[in-house]
Amino acid sequence: MKSIHFKSLTENDLPLLHDWFQKPHVKQWYARGENYNLKMIKEKYLPRILNPESIPNFIVYTDNTPIGYIQLYCAKDSLPDGVTDYNHPLFDASYKRLQMKLLALTYSSQMKTILKKAMRH
């Protein structure tokens, strides 16, 4: 049975991240069509590595093979691409914006706990 685990992003992972940014689907959906070179990757991700509390970043592994990248951020700070406000169908209309912020903060706190536990195993 394969295991999945997360490893905090380090400077040594940036060439891998750069390689992934060259993949057509990553370039289209995550890089928004931008042609990232290694210098641009370093400029974008080194501050996050040096201050992991700002936006925690992880490489996802299955067994010992890197299979992806994830980041954790609060939805009140940055909405997903294509979502311009909290009236989007992604959000339950019964929540007011303030409640959504609190829900997003709670969710982020829970995810941090889950990720920290996953990192220990």
Neighbours of 46 (CB within 10 A): 13
Three-class SS state of 58 = strand
Domain map of the chain by residue range? 1-71, 74-121
pLDDT at 41 (0 to 100): 95
pTM attached to this predicted model? 0.64
DSSP 8-state symbol, 34: -
In terms of DSSP bridges, do strands 4-8 and 65-71 run parallel, antiparallel, or are they unpaired?
Answer: unpaired
pLDDT at 100 (0 to 100): 46
Three-class SS state of 81 = coil
Neighbours of 4 (CB within 10 A): 11
pLDDT at 106 (0 to 100): 36
pLDDT at 1 (0 to 100): 58
pLDDT averaged over 10-residue windows placed end to end, the chain, 121 residues: 85 94 82 90 93 82 85 67 64 53 40 55 48
Class for the domain spanning 1-71: alpha beta
* Beta pairing partners, 58: 8, 70
